[in-house]
Structure 1
């Protein structure tokens, strides 16, 4: 699952969720601009940075780390220090690291213990958050990202309902529903359209880009599955490609596959 991409989309569209996550007032989000940044000299890329609009507020350097990496802290602090050295910034800074659980956190911390124990760094373990549907919508969605596959659908249902109840802005509601759908498809790649339609209204789904991609993928699979049958009928590959509106290369590849 592309967790860094999911979190980037979530915080870019709904920055208030980030401030709820770090136990700040969600209204602070209006004081920040969010983006990812690259330190070009060493090709470092920081997952996300909340830039304050005034110098009195902190800069937040965000990293989402879902894989165990013994060199993570060396890279994380190098990225921050190098970025600060290359940019004239007056604001103070804080680092926020999002882990799915403590087991992913690196144990190689002896060179960075003072920083990790300071107020400069906040480590968040999602599985330790209170993510019930009575809590923040943002926290509930973040909890869905690390939920067990067997529990993802049931976890998502009250969140979807909460989105419909709390998101008055229709554009934001559609955007959040699309993000929820993306999370479910990443977590459950075998989920079928009927299951999705049971959770989202069909009109919601039809407006989402991911739904259109899945629908088109299903059409392509159906076409490809019909190629062997059409070959057995004696049709040429060119006629099959034209009939199915598929590139000839795809038909040829499928024909070669069925020869083995």
Structure 2
């Protein structure tokens, strides 16, 4: 038996922690370092930090903030936002991040994915696919915080990323983001069955049952969420939370 990873995903905007609904309606939640301390106490498996303004503002996620996170956290964490060079990756790894997440620049320059994987190892490189239906109701990969359609088919892009050497793929459903009604299980399963690297479901989690569905019905290797770990109750009061050990044990799956 093994227990899939459960990963809080925290969005950054101007060094503050925010939460979105379908990549808009951003709500300020507070200091990300305070959230890290709480997730430390709650013994989260790992964390993902994504700076959602880095690419539109032509910069990377702030290395000083990454260093603060690294000094505070006692768990592995991944960072993403505006990464466009091997030097960017080196700086963020030295600041304390275990892995980096690529998105927009990987779409612009797929060869960079191979360069990064060869330089730092596949286990260091994560790719995030932001997906929603386009005008013709076909699922397409988007970039720049969901504002630009690339016209790429998510399944084909996921396969290409795996071939280029990424160690893990995060599937982020824009339409499900922040809605808390469940993951895009069909898309997650389609990609998980098409690649031989771990796939992380993200976007739409609103209950512990949704986490279970992500790894059983969606075939994801791990489940990530934002709203589920920072909100509580119908009024969405801000409350950092994480399943306890007993709850997490219920996610254990048989090994093949």
Q: TM-score, length-normalised on structure 1?
A: 0.28
Higher normalized strand content (fraction of residues): 2
Tell me which of the two structures has the higher relative contact order, counting C-alpha pairs closer than 8 angstroms and 6 or more residues apart: 2
Q: Is the radius of gyration larger for structure 1 or structure 2?
A: 1
